[in-house]
Amino acid sequence: MKTAALLRFAVASFAATACSALFAGQQELAASIQQSRSETILTHNELVANLKALNALVAQKDGDLRPAHDAFTASLKGTRAASDRTLKRVAALQGEGEKHFSVWQAEVETIKDDGIRNRALKRLGAARTNWNGAAAALQEATVQFPALLGYLNDIEKALSYDLTPEGVKSVRGAAQSANDAFGRIQGLTQKAVGQLDELAAAMSSTIKN
Q: Which residues contact 11 (CB under 8 A, 6 or more apart)?
A: none
How far is C-alpha 102 from the geometric centre of its chain's CA atoms? 21
CA dist 178 and 51 (Å) reads: 8
Share of the chain above pLDDT 90, in %: 49
pLDDT of residue 6: 42
pLDDT of residue 24: 61
65: which DSSP letter?
S
pLDDT of residue 60: 95
The arithmetic mean of pLDDT across residues 12-26, rounded, is 47
pLDDT of residue 206: 74
Confidence of residue 12 (pLDDT cuts 50, 70, 90): very low
pLDDT of residue 21: 44
pLDDT digits (tens, 9 = 90+) for 74-130: 999 999 998 888 888 888 888 888 888 888 899 999 999 999 999 999 999 998 888
pLDDT of residue 209: 65
Evaluate if residue 154 carries a pLDDT over 70.
yes
Burial 115-150 (b: 16+ CB within 10 A, else e): eeeeebeeebeebbebbbbbbbbbbbbbebbebbbe
State which of 48-62, 98-112, 126-140, 190-204 shows the largest mean pLDDT: 48-62
Share of the chain above pLDDT 70, in %: 87
pLDDT of residue 53: 97
pLDDT of residue 19: 42
Lowest mean pLDDT among 127-131, 162-166, 169-173: 127-131
Confidence of residue 25 (pLDDT cuts 50, 70, 90): low
The arithmetic mean of pLDDT across residues 43-53, rounded, is 94
pTM for the whole structure: 0.78
